Amino acid sequence: MSPVLLAVHPVLPARDVGQSVRFFEQLGFTLTFLDSTDNARYAALGRDGVEIHLQWTDDSQWAYPTDRPVFRFLTSDVDALFEDFRRAGVIDEARHERSPWAKPGDTPWGTREFHVRDPAGSSLQFYQPR
């Protein structure tokens, strides 16, 4: 019998782990691990069975043309989640004109989704099948 993959726990780079923790808490995640309260370098957060990790990276790891990671989160109700995030103050209303996915929309590839960036520039894409 082959082993079964049970989960994936992405590790997002963070220039400021504390700032990123606060951002994800606004998205409804709960802090489950923090290596230090004085100068955090690593953290883990969870929400609804999803776990993400944050790891400090120095400025040299952010030089152009380094791409930022993209993470896709399957959700049961993309519009309600967007409203939760908007009420929490993490949706930048000014971005709506610059990105087609800054607010929920139907995609040509059969999903309804919206995208936000965390403080480190990683793309978080929340979607549901149509």
Residue 3 binned pLDDT confidence (cut-offs 50, 70, 90): low
Rounded to the nearest angstrom, the gap between the alpha carbon of residue 49 and the centroid of all alpha carbons in its chain is 14
Our count of domains for the chain comes to 1
With respect to residue 2, please indicate whether it lies within any of the assigned structural domains. Answer: no
Radius of gyration of the chain (CA): 16
Q: Please give the model's pTM, rounded to 2 decimal places.
A: 0.76
Supply the range of the domain harboring residue 39. Answer: 11-58+68-129
What secondary structure does DSSP assign to 21-64, as a single string? HHHHHHTT-EEEEES-SSS--EEEEEETTEEEEEEE--GGGG-T
> What per-residue confidence (pLDDT) applies to 67?
67
> What per-residue confidence (pLDDT) applies to 121?
80
Average pLDDT, the chain: 86
> What per-residue confidence (pLDDT) applies to 63?
63
Residue 128: partners with Cβ closer than 8 Å, 6 or more residues away: 74, 75, 76, 77, 78, 111, 112, 113
Dihedral pair phi/psi, residue 80, rounded to 5°? -65, -40
SS3 3: coil
The domain that holds 112 is classified in CATH as: 3.10.180.10
With respect to residue 35, please indicate whether it lies within any of the assigned structural domains. Answer: yes
With respect to residue 17, please indicate whether it lies within any of the assigned structural domains. Answer: yes
- The answer to whether residue 91 scores a pLDDT higher than 70 is yes
How far is residue 123's CA from residue 15's CA, in Å, rounded to a whole number? 15
- The answer to whether residue 124 scores a pLDDT higher than 60 is yes
- Nearest to residue 82, comparing CAs of 59, 103, 60? 103
- The answer to whether residue 64 scores a pLDDT higher than 60 is no
